[in-house]
Amino acid sequence: MSGGKKFYSMIQRWFDELKLAFYGAILATKKKRFLIPFFVIFFVFGMLLNLLTGGSAAFSLLAHANFGGKMMILRDAFLGIFGVNRNFIDWFFIFFMSLLQATILSLVIFVYKYRKDSTNLQNAGIITGLIVLSSGCPTCGTTILAPVLVSIAGSSGMAMVGTVSWILTLASIVIALFAFKKVGFETYAIIMEERYKKKKGTKDGN
């Protein structure tokens, strides 16, 4: 096989596995093992991203406010997930990233629980790696980068923050896509295996 055909075959296989990963994620939505952590992670991560868009000010207010003030800040962060008091671009980005992170981490939990229940932990290293890869916070880029770049480049560093932050954001999305493909495909394999065993058990019972 020539180099060009081999490369084309690898790309085609990658996209085939990505399709199965999406199908595996859809199938997982019918499982409580996926849905419960998904909603928890989605709302927690979405609120965190909304708080981070305000830089350190939101956390400072949260730390020093009274109970009523804390509840108002958390309420605004929660409503921000659904676009309340947010422009469309900010809302879409926060919603998309929350959805992506919740999906990946919930699939990781789904796969881990299955492997753990099956006493088959040979993929534990891969799963742990996926947790690290998918736990990045692209939206935090500006908050984290601003003081670092300003301390190095002075006031001109602020001009670099937006560009560098977007580069990190795009890189994080690409990494998240690879993580999703891996864990989604694993989820698909697990669900198909469960169906096969259930079908085989039904036949054996008859």
Asked if residues 129 and 57 have their Cβ atoms less than 8 Å apart, the reply is no
CA–CA separation, 94 and 29 (whole Å): 21
Asked if residues 110 and 184 have their Cβ atoms less than 8 Å apart, the reply is no
Which pLDDT score is estimated for 42?
92
- What amino acid occupies position 126? I
Which pLDDT score is estimated for 116?
65
Which pLDDT score is estimated for 62?
77
Please report which confidence band the pLDDT of residue 179 belongs to, taking 50, 70 and 90 as the band edges. Answer: confident
Does residue 38 have a pLDDT over 90?
yes
Q: pTM to 2 decimals?
A: 0.69
CA–CA separation, 21 and 184 (whole Å): 4
Q: For residue 88, how many other CB atoms are within 10 A of its CB?
A: 8
Mean pLDDT of 164-173: 67
Which pLDDT score is estimated for 23?
92
Please report which confidence band the pLDDT of residue 101 belongs to, taking 50, 70 and 90 as the band edges. Answer: confident
